[in-house]
Structure 1
Amino acid sequence: MGACSCNSPSPANQLVFVTTGTPYESSGLLTGMFRTASTSTQLAHIGYALSADKIEPFRH
């Protein structure tokens, strides 16, 4: 979970739960199916989900 670790969790409409076929490390540009999805974890309530099909390094 890469969400902010503030005193109170971010609102659900500001968080995206990303799933991948294989784990990845670091940040990158994700492409895949984006949808609304109400999910809860121990850290926060999440309002969106992204099933990442492709991960590319982010270039400026």
Structure 2
Amino acid sequence: MYQEVSGKNFLPRLVVKNDLLVDTYVKQINTVNIEIGDTKFSLTFNEMNRIATIANNN
């Protein structure tokens, strides 16, 4: 899946929830890559970790 959002301002924090297929496949691991300006984040989700928060330090 790919999603792009345009905009100049980044919210104070971004909460990402990803639980695709983790209920069906116990060993499922999902990776979400996020690029904000020049900064890149990679978030990993699984059965135990379904929500992550990115804080804007600017």
TM normalised by structure 2 equals 0.24
Q: Which has the higher helix share?
A: 1
**TM-score, reference length from structure 1:** 0.24
Higher strand share: 1
